[in-house]
Structure 1
Amino acid sequence: MTQKFSFALNGRDGKARTGIISTPRGEIRTPAFMPVGTAATVKAMLPENVRATGADILLGNTYHLMLRPTAERIDRLGGLHRFMNWDRPILTDSGGFQVMSLAALRKLTEKGVTFKSHIDGSRHEVTPERSMEIQKLLGSDIVMCFDECPALPASEEDVAKSMRLSMRWAARSRDAFGDRPGHALFGIQQGGVTQDLRAESAEALREIGFDGYAVGGLAVGEGQEAMFGVLDYAPDMLPEDKPRYLMGVGKPDDIVGAVARGIDMMDCVLPSRSGRTGQAFTRFGVVNIKNARHQDDPRPLDADCTCPACRNYSRAYLHHVYRSQEIIASMLLTWHNLHYYQELMQGMRDAIADGRFDAFQAAFHDRRKDGDIAPL
């Protein structure tokens, strides 16, 4: 078993890349999509079923886990992998984004952030050092630097100030992380949608030196066009020989566009959250199973899909259990969505390796243009 964290690029097609991230807990095939297990569970899924969809790695959430059940408790119980019965790699985010979006009465200083828990109002302080300590207690394989994520739109002055604070925190995160063989620390590029600020951030991160690099501060409301505008240059500013991770993305067409621009890793709550709200992602686009058109339809969601929802159940059944608020609706639709996402990743990995990524991309968009199959 390898004791080191490493990344090998095996193929490219244009800017799109395919490779393998090796960790002591197993290999991660890139481009990789990481299902989100916010509170030590991918909602409505058993871990072995998440694995069966093709997922090599999960994401856990530092903010949620530090508040409940606490990182100290998880550590006493043998670490996050044992706690949630997932023996493969786990990436934990730093908690910065959730502090921005969920915490009440947060106060930001050079030292870190103090905030009130959205659960019970208790007061907490997270600094780069504390974030590294929490993630170490959790035992995650890939640790993210603690950063400040400004909500867009923001003035360029505010984005610059925030980015420079994040870069100082990145250096402190690196120092606090120390030397942990087999575990990786990723730096997070910030700078909003401003190219000069992105370049300044990338240079600061390269100087500190990380095992991988994330493009942060996107998919926070700026829209796909602006996001792709940044991705046209941001990944190229990061080291070639390290994984590049786009945080919090996204819809299937966001993912394909990101991979086309040189991104290796992504995560998003979308496939699982959409499954719980009656939305299924298919090769033809999004299907709203709650719509009345499905109530008498004996066909599967997608005739070519091999997930249990498509193999064993009709649209009419899925419509019925969703309308009846049965738990199986969340289970089947989430499984289908995660299966679809992983199939999309495998399709891209194969296409990049074979030098036909452009054709893959064209076919992907082409199929979605016509929308769902016609109603009966």
Structure 2
Amino acid sequence: MVELTAEQRDIKMAAQEFAEKEFRDIARELEAKEEFDDRIWKKTAENGFLAVFVPEEYGGQGLGHFEQCLILEEFARVDLGITHQIDSTFFGAQFILFNGTEEQKKKYLPPVCEGKWRIGMASTEPEAGSDVASIATTATKDGDYYVLRGNKVFITNCTTSDFLVVLCVTTPEAKRKHERLGAIVVDTKSPGYEATTWHGKLSLRCSTTGEVAFNDMRVPRENLLGEEGKGFYYLMDFFNHTRLGVAAFGVGTAQGALDKAVAHVKKRKQFGATLAALGVVQTKIAEMGTMVETARSLLYRAALKADRGEIDPALVAMSKWYASEVAVKVADEAIQLHGGSGILVEYDVEHYWRDAKVLEIFEGTKEIEKLLIGRRLLGLH
């Protein structure tokens, strides 16, 4: 297991205390209403928890993705819906940090870190989910502008983001499919932008998700990030960092569910003793705890390597896939250990399973992660 520094232990404890104070009592209410309280986002910014991997010169804490994962893990331990909504306010910051010009970094990153602007990503389309290279949204050059036409789906904060990093076709003439894409920062207040929020989700109910339409939307060509034709490759590098965050979601969610299960079996009595006294329960708790610790170890190793500049796509994929699967399994067992009470909202455990399920789908399905791992191990990448 990774030994945390004193500073990292302090960060982890501060995040845990913040989440318990700010999330716990309001989480189920926000979920029932399918809405978010922006005051939580503002407090998160005030406490320095947003985009801590951003260097100080761009308004961040100058820490690493590892420290960001520690924060997200502790947040998700209490509630993943709120955690995801907070994380989504700076989802896209890495893309700008890695590929933006100095001017773009200084323009967009400080307000994001300060909790003044939200910035998100728009890549998924109705016919381009896992198959990112098939994105069909176009950005046609017209003088000093791009004219965007197309649709995106499953876009977080589609109605609340100030800006979105949009993956679109900028070089349709490219011979290779993967070299057609570019990435452009879009101001959501500009004419031609239309967004609709979805309701009735299984997971992350207080997190805004929906679809976007670009109707001949004019965007300055200076908003291009990096080079035309490199968008697909930029996105893969972006995912190699953001999938660490998803793994942290999984570890935190699993730990939260395990915490609930342990507390319940110590208190609940059946057959003349607490459930904790039963061997079958003890072995189940042992299995759950071992899975959580294994997932955490994978995550920490992958995140520390990333911060050293040693990105290991297979290790990142292992971490994301395994932590997500562990979250689903541990949450399922936690409900089982609660018996019939486990399906009741008042016991505050069923949401762990509902929220965990989406982790196996977004930012690369578990099938895609396994495919990536297999190809790396076989030397086929």
Q: Aligning the two structures, in what range does the TM-score lie when normalised by the shorter sequence?
A: under 0.3
Structure with greater strand percent: 1
With normalisation by structure 1, the TM-score equals: 0.26
With normalisation by structure 2, the TM-score equals: 0.26
Structure with greater helix percent: 2
